[in-house]
Amino acid sequence: MAHSTSQHRHDASDGIIRPRPVKPGNPAVLRAQGEDGGLKTNGGLIKLESPASGLSSGRSTPLPPDAPPSALSISSARKQVRAQQKHRLFPSIDYAARVSHFDPKSDYRDFRGFFVLFWIGLAIMVITTMLRNIKDTGVPFRFGVWALLIERVWQLALTDAAMVLSTSLSLPLHKIFRNSKGWLKWASGGMAVQSIYQACWLVLWVNWPFIYGWTWTAQVFFTLHTIIFLMKMHSYAFYNGHLSTTEHRLSALDNPESASTAAAVRYPRSSTNLNKLDPSKEKKAHKDEEEALSELREDLAIELTSPLGQVTYPQNLTWSNYADYILVPTLCYELEYPRTERTQYLELFWKTLAVFGCIFLLTITSEEFIVPVLHDASIRLNSISSTSETLLIMSETISLLLFPFMVTFLLIFLVIFEYVLGAFAEITCFADRHFYSDWWNSCDWLEFSREWNIPVHHFLRRHVYGASRPYLSRNMSMVVTFLLSALGHELVLGCITKKVRG
């Protein structure tokens, strides 16, 4: 089964990379490329012309002969970027057209039987619970947890919409930074202004549920959503800020006598092991001044062009682009993403139905197998004083909660990473459905942390680990990354317990 990857591949003409039964070396960075180097997008294989051919791709307007060198560099970069994958200045994410592991078109078809068996088991649980409730109370379901979920739901919805809309201030702020000639330039004071805004924004919205006394379920949902949009806003602002600095530097090279001609510092792509870079391979050979200047212009121009070669900064600075980024299921901003040809409305309907079905199953699991156990344990613990009996009750309670908690974890995983993100991917025609990898095959916690939540892993690798790597050692960058991740988890747990753990 592992001797030939071609045996597991569907027709390559659909341009979709499917999760494979044989785990690749690093599935998070699988590229959508054909054997001839073409890039697979929107269901087809784009044939790329040679960088040296000089022929027009048919997508760009011819430049006048007297165009400045910066414009010529950008035009050349749009043609070349589709033919070669260079190290970019900013850590990048390799997006490709991929389906999820549980998609019917996935090559993990042998695992689908266990997936169906899981749903059959849950159906048996629901039927058994209904019959028991009818026997005991005369009604099939209890609605205590459901009442907790819908309390102040409209206030939650309106507040959540206001929180999302407030992130859009990053776009006009960035335009101010880009057009500034003084201290508000991104590299001068713009980064500090954006960071202060993000900090104030986070403090406001994290405290909002506590001010209005929301239930813990509403607080957890809103806090998670706030953290998600903080990451999206940070990625949008800091990546575009980097591009604005790159654009200013490229424009300055039109007059190279007064501009910096220092070589561009290159970060590795996400597909490169950061600790295995060979510095000798990154050193430029000794060239004359004119050739070095031309290569520097090319490096900077490629940085301003999307990996798919269709969009160049600042063409992306529009409200429609920002609205699209808010909706696409990713935390890392890029100038362009791989797209499907159209929205499959039947698939969107089934995923939406599955979201509400999972929420229904979560309420049943909590109502029947979690809340009664906790309530009974609370009564018993209040009526005894012996340490041995206390430990016995706590051990029994934990053992009774292990299975329903496991079911709850699996349902939450499915509703978020398979159905909610999948539904938004269908709405936006976002082609890369690789929101998780086969974390159930993980051999250690580090591997699990990388593979069960691919969007957050990409964000931490790009904007925390990758951004701090030029200034810190590898070990210190990892410490900073895990510390920031721990603080995010601590914030969510604080909303549940109303206290900070030691």
Active-site residue list: 489
Omega into 91 within 30° of 0, i.e. cis?
Answer: no
CB 241 within 8 A of CB 338: no
The answer to whether the peptide bond before residue 279 is cis (omega within 30 degrees of 0) is: no
Radius of gyration of the chain, Cα coordinates, nearest whole angstrom: 26
Q: Which amino acid is at 457?
A: H
Strand 44-46 with 39-41, pairing: antiparallel
First to last CA, the chain: 49
Instruction: Determine the angle formed by the axes of helices 289-303 and 69-80, rounding to 10 degrees.
Output: 60
* Distance separating alpha carbons of residues 290 and 293, to the nearest angstrom: 5
CA dist., res. 351 & res. 371, Å (int) = 28
Confirm if 433 and 32 have CB atoms less than 8 A apart: no
What are the structure tokens assigned to 423, written together?
Answer: 């539904």
Q: How many helices (H) and strands (E) does the chain have?
A: 18, 2
Residue type for position 153: V
